[in-house]
């Protein structure tokens, strides 16, 4: 039986592990929120311009 | 415990799931051909041969891709995951699983025949008073009843697992699957009532007229949670399977469960946001359901957080630094990750445009325009589709005891990028065209010259559509390989572990289905009772059946 | 259940944004008269193709100093009247129904967009600032001739 080609190994944390942080996550979701607000604002502006 | 299981599916269980995948990918191929034909016709690049019309093709496209491909893949995937995480399917579950498969398949074939013979050119939303042949509705009924059998299969297994593991938290995959099917049962109630008590009798001629508003309202009571039936299995793949591919653990077991409970509660009492420009429903009730629609955005916001957190955590484990350093450490060359990831990126746009669509009077800018088509091709045609393809790349070889070779993986990476390109072009053109006022569900026309300058955009859409079709062909090739031709070998079922510390803190209340169903029922009653009673009591005379094609 | 601080922040910001959208929509809907077309009136007599007043006499009617009602009936596959003339700058109320299947009514480039159900009346109001010819199209699939279904507004 051939061995699996794309096996995944759980990675060991680095020897001097940084305390884990989710700063990047917060930045990412806030950007996402900004995008949602921008799209909404854009269509809202279009709606108002057609009133 | 949760997520940690050494059970491997038996050949019988594998066969049950694979049966569903065979139909799913056949539907993808035929539905994809239909889409290609539509895109070319609408751009004015081809004329359809006599005997076949655009709207027939469109009906086939919608039914095969939005109803058949999705439902079959979902059931194949979820049955496999439930078998994997609850120690196998009991014989009762297998029986219901097969009963479901055959009912759905007979129904699908019946429905497809009625569409191909031009007896049901009513699109996949089948709005009255356009009347299809009763066999169209009967075919769809069989599909829905079949899916109920599949749901019962899951529940039978779930109940047995709970009995044998009293006091233990249900494995995450199984829990999320049960939540998905609970939603499905609640949602299909509406369309079942519409089809069984209104459309079928009316289309046979046993009743003369039909209440249009009531029939539409029952459909859209179903139509919105339908999209969550599509989305939730994709979320399961993201929450439970994707972390394993990244070499990390489930980010938060309880938040995943909470998100799904919120979907059960809030995806149903919101159907009016598909009916915002209709008469017969007052502005007040529309607004209430718009409000509830915004609430159902929240569990998706939670999911977004979980995903970024999963990527960041996995990235930092591999040495990433900085806010976005994790981007460099993702396995971009692994199609099992890339496909779902592309799906997620597109969902940012799809989610944003969805919020716009539901925004009450803003709907006047976009309703029934190509913007809506551009919108939904993203969450279902990209996010869900690519996530399912990504799942297929490991699940199907797992089930067929083959391997996903590096060559196929490369092809799948190319396929994902081609899909992204085609969808970007087509969907962007649709969004733009929609804002100009171009209507959806409409064959080639330039409105006697008044809309001549719309045609170039439709050609752009066709370019996107052709590229997407190439993507479909590639996907079918990959799937055929994984199903029948890839080298034999062992592939692992991608199931991420839950942190044992965390698992201890999963609140058992999340599994009190009765509580959540009660809340759902209350919200549905509040959001729908008065307008529906009004629709019945103050209805104008009903409509006789009409055939306008 | 442990919610990471950042997730709490995100959900509060996300929730607040959605509430802001809802507030804006509510003000427009309930205070500024900008609710989406939600007519509750009946447009027919004993069956949807037996039109009740005013739909039995479609046409353009001046109802105010600078306000007009355009009464229309949609059918597979056209609008009656097929062409209407109105002045620029006036408030135009499109009042329409369908006498057969569900149709849509949209004037591209404006907010005029509504669903027409047999038996039901619906209304959408708009003002044309610029003279010219405007397309009315049906945006709800209604049958084999759906793509040909159109009307015209000539704004003088």
The C-alpha atoms of residue B11 and residue B398 are separated, in whole angstroms, by: 11
> Tens digit of pLDDT for each residue in C30-77?
999 999 999 999 999 999 999 999 999 999 999 999 999 999 999 999
Strand, helix or coil for residue B262? helix
Query: Which residues of B are marked as active site?
Result: 224, 228, 375-377, 440-441
From first to last of its 549 residues, chain B has per-residue pLDDT tens of: 344 468 999 999 999 999 999 999 999 999 999 999 999 999 999 999 988 999 999 999 999 999 999 999 999 999 999 999 999 999 999 999 999 999 999 999 999 999 999 999 999 999 999 999 999 999 999 999 999 999 999 999 999 999 999 989 999 999 999 999 999 999 999 999 999 999 999 999 999 999 999 999 999 999 999 999 999 999 999 999 999 999 999 999 999 999 999 999 999 999 999 999 999 999 999 999 999 999 999 999 999 999 999 999 999 999 999 999 999 999 999 999 999 999 999 999 999 999 999 999 999 999 999 999 999 999 999 999 999 999 999 999 999 999 999 999 999 999 999 999 999 999 999 999 999 999 999 999 999 999 999 999 999 999 999 999 999 999 999 999 999 999 999 999 999 999 888 777 889 999 999 999 999 999 999 999 999 999 999 999 999 999 999
Helix (H, G, I), strand (E, B) or coil at B354: helix
Count of alpha carbons within 13 angstroms of residue B490, beta-carbon side = 7
| Cα–Cα distances in angstroms (integers) from residue B426 to residues A36, B57, C147, in the given order | 21, 18, 20
Cα–Cα distance, B128 to B159 (Å, whole number): 40
* Residues pairing with C73 in the sheet: C80, C97
Q: Which of B174, B183, B189, B188 is CA-nearest to residue B265? A: B183
DSSP code, position B440 = S
Which residues in C lie closer than 8 A to residue A47 (C-beta atoms)? 111
Q: Cβ of B277 and C115 within 8 Å?
A: yes
How far apart (Å, rounded) are the C-alpha atoms in residues B147 and B68? 11
CB contact under 8 A, B279 and C41: yes
Do residues B230 and B205 lie in contact, with contact meaning Cβ atoms separated by under 8 Å? Answer: no
What value does the mean pLDDT of chain C take?
Answer: 97
Quick: pLDDT tens for C6-30.
999 999 999 999 999 999 999 999 9
To probe the interface with C, which of A27, A29, A39 has the most C CB atoms within 10 Å? A29
Give the relative orientation of helices B54-61 and B11-42 as an angle to the nearest 10 degrees.
150
Tell me the pairing of strands C59-64 and C67-75: antiparallel
d(CA B542, CA B212): 7
Instruction: Give the 3-state secondary structure of chain C.
Output: CCCCHHHHHHHHHHHHHHHHHHHHHHHHHHHCCCCCCCCCCECECCCCCCECCCCCCCEEEEEECCEEEEEEEEECCEEECCEEEECCCCEEEEEEEECCCCEEEECCCCCCEEEECECECEEEEEECCCCEEEEEECCCCCCCCHHHCEEEEEEC
| CB-CB neighbors (< 8 A) of B492 in chain A | 4, 7-8
Q: What are phi and psi of B369, to 5 degrees?
A: -95, 175
CA dist., res. B215 & res. B194, Å (int): 6
Q: Which of A24, A37, A38 to mutate to test the interface with B (most CBs of B within 10 A)?
A: A24
**Antiparallel, parallel or unpaired: β C67-75 and C91-98:** parallel
* CB-based burial, B206-241: b 16+ in 10 Å, e otherwise: eeebbbbbbbbbbbbbbbbbbbbbbbbbbbbbbbbb
Taking alpha carbons only, the member of B358, B367, B368, B217 closest to residue B287 is: B358
A8 touches chain B (CB under 8 A): yes
Strand partners, C91: C67, C127
User: Six-digit token pair at B150?
Assistant: 């599949």
Tell me whether residues B437 and C124 touch, CB distance under 8 A.
Answer: no
Q: Mutual orientation of helices B283-317 and C5-26 as an angle, nearest 10°? A: 160
- What are the residue ranges spanned by the domains of chain C? 1-35, 59-155
Q: Which domains does chain B have, with CATH numbers?
A: 11-443+450-497+505-537 (1.20.210.10)
Phi-psi region of B148 (alpha: psi -120 to 50; beta: other; left: phi over 0): alpha
Indicate the residue of B309, B348, B403 with minimum beta-carbon distance to A25: B309
CA distance C137 to C104: 7
Nearest to A40 among C14, C21, C111 (CB): C21
**C137 to B437: CB separation less than 8 angstroms, yes or no:** yes
Structure tokens at B87: 């120690």
Q: What does the pLDDT look like over B69-92, one tens digit per residue?
A: 999 999 999 999 999 999 999 999
Q: Does B294 touch chain A (CB under 8 A)?
A: no
- Nearest chain B alpha carbon to A9: B247
Chain C CB contacts of A22 below 8 Å:
4, 6-7
Q: Which residues contact B334 (CB under 8 A, 6 or more apart)?
A: A6, B245, B409
Please list every residue in chain B whose beta carbon sits closer than 8 Å to the beta carbon of residue C116.
Answer: 279
Q: Cα distance from A51 to chain B (closest Cα, Å)? A: 11
Report which of C142, C155, C131 is spatially closest to residue C79, judged by C-alpha positions.
C142
Q: What DSSP designation does B379 have?
A: I
- Does residue A17 carry a pLDDT above 60? no
Q: For residue B378, what are its two tokens?
A: 């993203």
Is residue A19 over pLDDT 70? no
- Residue pair C72/C96 in contact (Cβ under 8 Å)? The answer is yes
Given a cut of 90, whether residue A3 has pLDDT beyond it is no
pLDDT of A6 reads 52
DSSP secondary structure string for all residues of B183-239? HHHHHHHHHHHIIIIIIHHHHHTSSS-B-HHHHHHHHHHHHHHHHHHHHHHHHHIII
Q: Angle of helix B134-164 relative to helix B91-116, nearest 10 degrees?
A: 160
β-strand partners of B130: B546
Tell me chain A's radius of gyration from C-alpha atoms.
22
| CA dihedral angle for residue A20, residue B239, residue B182, residue A29, rounded to 10 degrees | 60
Joined together, the tokens standing for residue B283 give 């502005």
Give C7 to chain B, closest Cα distance, Å: 7
What is the CATH number that goes with domain C59-155? 2.60.40.420
Residues in chain A: 51
Chains that touch C (3 or more CB pairs under 8 A): A, B
| Of residues A25, A40, A44, nearest to C6 (C-beta) | A25
- The Cα C135–Cα C130 span in angstroms is 14
* CA–CA gap between residue B404 and residue B114 (Å, rounded): 38
Q: Supply φ then ψ for residue B547, to 5 degrees.
A: -120, 110
Whether A11 and chain B come into contact, CB under 8 Å, resolves to: yes
> Which residue in C79, C80, C77 sits closest to B549, CA to CA?
C77
Inter-chain contact B403–A24, Cβ cutoff 8 Å? no
Asked if the C-beta of A49 comes within 8 angstroms of chain B's C-beta atoms, the answer is no
Of residues B130, B279, B301, nearest to C38 (C-beta): B279
Residue in chain B lying closest to A39 (CA): B352
Nearest CA in chain C to A23: C6
Residue B371: CB partners within 8 Å, gap ≥ 6? B353, B357, B365, B430, B431, B433, B434, B435
ipTM of the complex: 0.97
Measured in Å, how far apart are chain C's first and last C-alpha atoms?
A: 65
Question: Closest residue of A to B431, CA-based?
Answer: A43
Separation between Cα atoms, residue B276 and residue B274, nearest integer Å: 6
pLDDT at B505: 84
């Amino acid at each position: 039986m051939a061995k699996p080609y794309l096996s995944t190994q759980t990675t060991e944390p680095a020897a001097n592990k940084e305390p884990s942080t989710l700063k990047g996550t917060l930045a990412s979701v806030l950007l996402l929120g900004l995008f949602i607000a921008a799209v909404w604002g854009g269509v809202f502006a279009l709606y108002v311009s057609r009133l | 415990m949760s997520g940690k299981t050494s059970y491997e599916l038996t050949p019988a269980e594998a066969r049950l799931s694979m049966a569903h995948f065979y139909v799913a990918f056949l539907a993808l191929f035929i539905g994809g051909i239909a889409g290609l034909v539509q895109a070319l016709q609408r751009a004015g690049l081809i004329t359809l041969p006599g005997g076949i019309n655009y709207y027939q093709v469109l009906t086939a496209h919608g039914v095969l891709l939005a109803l058949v491909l999705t439902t079959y893949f979902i059931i194949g995937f979820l049955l496999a995951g439930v078998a994997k995480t609850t120690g196998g399917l009991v014989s009762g579950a297998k029986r219901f699983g097969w009963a479901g498969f055959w009912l759905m398949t007979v129904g699908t074939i019946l429905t497809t025949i009625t569409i191909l013979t031009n007896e049901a050119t009513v699109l996949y939303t089948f709005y009255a008073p356009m009347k299809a042949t009763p066999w169209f509705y009967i075919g769809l009924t069989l599909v829905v009843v079949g899916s109920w059998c599949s749901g019962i299969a899951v529940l039978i297994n779930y109940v047995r697992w709970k009995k044998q593991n009293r006091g233990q938290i249900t494995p995450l995959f199984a829990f999320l699957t049960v939540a998905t099917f609970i939603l499905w049962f609640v949602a299909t109630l509406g369309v079942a009532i519409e089809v069984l008590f209104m459309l079928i009798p009316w289309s046979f001629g046993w009743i003369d007229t039909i209440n249009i508003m009531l029939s539409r309202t029952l459909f859209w009571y179903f139509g919105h949670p339908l999209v969550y039936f599509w989305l939730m299995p994709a979320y399961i793949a993201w929450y439970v399977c994707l972390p394993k591919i990244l070499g990390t653990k489930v980010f938060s077991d309880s938040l995943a469960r909470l998100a799904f409970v919120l979907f059960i509660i809030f995806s149903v009492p919101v159907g009016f946001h598909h009916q915002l420009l209709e008469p017969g429903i007052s502005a007040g009730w529309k607004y209430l359901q718009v409000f509830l629609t915004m609430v159902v955005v929240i569990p998706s916001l939670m999911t977004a957080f979980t995903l970024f957190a999963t990527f960041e955590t996995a990235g930092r484990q591999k040495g990433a630094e900085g806010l976005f350093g994790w981007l460099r450490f993702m396995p971009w060359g692994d199609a099992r990750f890339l496909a779902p990831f592309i799906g997620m990126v597109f969902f940012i746009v799809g989610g944003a445009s969805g919020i716009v669509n539901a925004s009450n009077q803003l709907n006047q800018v976009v309703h029934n325009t190509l913007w809506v088509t551009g919108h939904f091709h993203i969450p279902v045609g990209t996010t869900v589709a690519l996530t399912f393809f990504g799942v297929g790349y490991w699940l199907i070889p797992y089930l067929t005891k083959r391997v996903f070779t590096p060559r196929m993986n490369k092809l799948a990476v190319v396929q994902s990028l081609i899909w992204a390109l085609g969808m970007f072009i087509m969907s962007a053109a649709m969004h733009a065209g929609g804002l100009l006022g171009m209507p959806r569900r409409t064959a080639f026309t330039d409105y006697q010259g008044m809309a001549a300058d719309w045609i170039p955009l439709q050609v752009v859409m066709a370019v996107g559509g052709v590229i997407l079709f190439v993507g479909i062909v590639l996907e079918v090739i990959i799937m055929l390989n994984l199903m029948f031709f890839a080298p034999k070998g062992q592939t692992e079922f991608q199931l991420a572990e839950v942190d044992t510390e965390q698992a201890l803190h999963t609140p058992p209340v999340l599994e009190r289905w009765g509580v959540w169903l009660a809340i759902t029922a209350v919200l549905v009653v509040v959001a729908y009772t008065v307008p529906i009673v009004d629709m019945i009591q103050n209805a104008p005379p009903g409509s006789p059946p009409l055939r306008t094609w | 259940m442990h919610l990471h601080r950042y997730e709490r922040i995100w959900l509060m910001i996300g929730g607040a944004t959605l509430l802001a959208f809802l507030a804006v929509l509510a003000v427009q809907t309930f205070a500024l008269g900008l609710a989406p077309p939600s007519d509750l009136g009946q447009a027919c007599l004993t069956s949807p193709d037996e039109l009740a007043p005013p739909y039995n006499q479609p046409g353009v009617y001046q109802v105010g100093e600078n306000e007009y009602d355009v009464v229309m009936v949609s059918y597979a596959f056209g609008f009656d009247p097929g062409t209407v003339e109105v002045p620029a700058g006036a408030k135009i109320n499109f009042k329409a129904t369908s006498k057969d299947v569900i149709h849509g009514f949209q004037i591209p480039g404006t907010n005029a967009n509504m669903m027409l159900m047999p038996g039901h009346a619906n209304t959408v109001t708009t003002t044309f600032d610029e003279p010219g010819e405007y397309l009315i199209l049906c945006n709800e699939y209604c049958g084999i001739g759906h793509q040909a279904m159109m009307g015209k507004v000539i704004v003088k």
